[in-house]
A and B are shown apart, each in its own frame.
Chain A
């Protein structure tokens, strides 16, 4: 066998070449294989799994690549705002609360619906000028029937001793939490913005704040461990826990279930607009939504050709969608900073 010899200079060149290749942007490398790749931000957990597993093959068939990047809506905003002109994501996934901020900061753009083959299959209320609604998250209360009785609503959680120390909350940074707090403000205060009443409630019932965590994702882990028995959730949280074998049930609060449409947005300044349109179209297609509606995701389908499963119908039907509580996000966004700071001061107090 020939002796293999390599000089120090050649070895250095090889290393530099390898390093340079690895530093190439993902999109450039992907270009070699596909027409275009969309870097799409989705919420971590259920969303990330479902979107990666279901949409990636559909996009591939269309000749596009798809990279799913998990990030909470607030984190998506922060990252895009930190990179003006060079957005880290081509597509964003957000509820109306963050969408308003994204529009104000000029980081998303209006879409051209004629580029979406499945656009006409969406109900007009799901056809946003800034992107299609891919599902409606229905929020309520998750509880473990092995540990606590079925709660009637938010009031029960503060007034029934059965829930003492077993309810978990998060701060106002979470959309799920902020929607629950606005409902509690209606019950104990003069309206959804009367957060002073909620803060007073927390001050008067410190035992209810025992299990406060930073993120709703942590709550699912804590629920699995039996550390908590009740938390504010969306139906998809419950579906996920059930799919993991947990005894978890969903309750519509007696005051009504807060809901939030979830939309895909086209990031301003993206260089992969074609791929983003393909991604939007895939997400609202019947092929994808027929899978999203199944466990463990169980997302409410916005495509009118997709029939609801019995499990989703048990939570909400298409007719019931209109009766859900849709918060005023403009008002929430106006107060959110102050609420977040006040909440932190109270709970850490």
Chain B
């Protein structure tokens, strides 16, 4: 008789309930609590303030910009990996993984040097005659997106590499023999093949960027306000936990909706080789 696998799932279910579902339920509960009982007031306060809505849009935009940036950088690196021999592959994996082993805080502070007035970007712009004086990219969204792209790049490269290592190189040769040029091979063959990896990477990058408090605070400064800073302000400075919970739930839902949509797309039959 076939044994049920349920008992083996119990520890994982218990851990999920204790460490994930319960805190989440507490968070959601907090967002509806007031002295008089249950209320939607905190959500009304959040959406009633145009500033908060703008912050939510800014956070989503930052996530999307970073997704675009990491995709433009990640796809060529993944393709290079696919085309390379063993040694270069090891180098690419090493260079991809090493930054992940460094603290996010350290990487963020290193970007202050790179983006600052005396940093290499500013020096290069002056040397090329593009700018006549030192230029700082600190406290700008461009600077923040650049830093986030570097920090989150491994999150898109690794799923792409995982997909490409399962892909036969002979497919491109066949396309070449059939008369397809390099761009056509990339657009009509490689990108569709890489799409499941791209979707997985986009989910990871978007989630990581929109919640990256340290980098947003340090590189973006206080002028570029994003949702994690808003939550920190409400909890740590204004002690308005119900409002902070409501903001966290809004962030969770808005990010969650996007992630669910991407996940559903990534599970589509045509993307899994069932065309």
For A169, give the chain B residue with the smallest CB separation.
B222
Contacts of A211 in B (CB 8 A): 138-139, 221
Q: Is B236 a contact of A227 with CB atoms below 8 Å? A: no
- Asked if A227 meets B239 with Cβ closer than 8 Å, knowing A211-B139, A340-B233, the reply is no
Other than the known A214-B218, A337-B238, what 4 A-B pairs have Cβ atoms closer than 8 Å? A170-B222, A211-B138, A212-B223, A226-B117
**B169 in the interface, Cβ–Cβ < 8 Å?**
no
Expressed in whole angstroms, the minimum distance between the Cβ of A168 and any Cβ of chain B is 9
**B51 in the interface, Cβ–Cβ < 8 Å?**
yes
Contacts of B112 in A (CB 8 A): 221-222, 225, 227
Among candidates B51, B139, B236, residue contacting A210 with C-beta atoms closer than 8 Å = B139
**A345 in the interface, Cβ–Cβ < 8 Å?**
yes
Q: Which residues of B approach A to under 8 Å, CB–CB?
A: 51, 54-55, 109, 112-113, 116-119, 136, 138-139, 217-218, 221-225, 229, 233, 235-241
Contacts of A209 in B (CB 8 A): 223
Contacts of A78 in B (CB 8 A): 235-237, 239
A345 to B55 CA separation, bound complex (whole angstroms): 10
Q: Which residues of A approach B to under 8 Å, CB–CB?
A: 72, 74-75, 77-78, 81-82, 170-171, 173, 209-215, 218, 221-222, 225-227, 337, 340-341, 344-345, 347-348
Expressed in whole angstroms, the minimum distance between the Cβ of B260 and any Cβ of chain A is 29
CB contacts between A and B, total, < 8 Å: 78
A215 to B119 CA separation, bound complex (whole angstroms): 22
Q: Is A75 a contact of B138 with CB atoms below 8 Å? A: no
Contacts of A341 in B (CB 8 A): 238
8 shortest A-B CB distances, which residue pairs?
A212-B222, A173-B237, A214-B217, A348-B225, A227-B116, A78-B236, A225-B116, A345-B51
- Asked if A348 meets B136 with Cβ closer than 8 Å, knowing A214-B229, A222-B112, A227-B116, the reply is no
Q: Is A226 a contact of B118 with CB atoms below 8 Å? A: yes
Q: Is A214 a contact of B238 with CB atoms below 8 Å? A: no
Q: Is A81 a contact of B239 with CB atoms below 8 Å? A: yes
Q: Is A227 a contact of B117 with CB atoms below 8 Å? A: yes
- Asked if A344 meets B138 with Cβ closer than 8 Å, knowing A74-B237, A214-B217, the reply is no
Expressed in whole angstroms, the minimum distance between the Cβ of A87 and any Cβ of chain B is 16
Expressed in whole angstroms, the minimum distance between the Cβ of A19 and any Cβ of chain B is 13
Q: Is B222 a contact of A171 with CB atoms below 8 Å? A: yes
Contacts of B225 in A (CB 8 A): 344, 347-348
- Asked if A344 meets B233 with Cβ closer than 8 Å, knowing A210-B139, A212-B139, A212-B223, the reply is yes
Q: Is A344 a contact of B238 with CB atoms below 8 Å? A: no
For B139, give the chain A residue with the smallest CB separation.
A211
A210 to B220 CA separation, bound complex (whole angstroms): 11
A226 to B136 CA separation, bound complex (whole angstroms): 10
A330 to B165 CA separation, bound complex (whole angstroms): 64
Q: Is B109 a contact of A74 with CB atoms below 8 Å? A: no
Expressed in whole angstroms, the minimum distance between the Cβ of B225 and any Cβ of chain A is 4
Among candidates A74, A221, A344, residue contacting B236 with C-beta atoms closer than 8 Å = A74
Contacts of A215 in B (CB 8 A): 217
Q: Is B236 a contact of A218 with CB atoms below 8 Å? A: no
Contacts of A225 in B (CB 8 A): 112-113, 116-119
A340 to B136 CA separation, bound complex (whole angstroms): 27
- Asked if A214 meets B222 with Cβ closer than 8 Å, knowing A225-B116, A225-B118, the reply is yes
For A347, give the chain B residue with the smallest CB separation.
B223
Expressed in whole angstroms, the minimum distance between the Cβ of A274 and any Cβ of chain B is 30
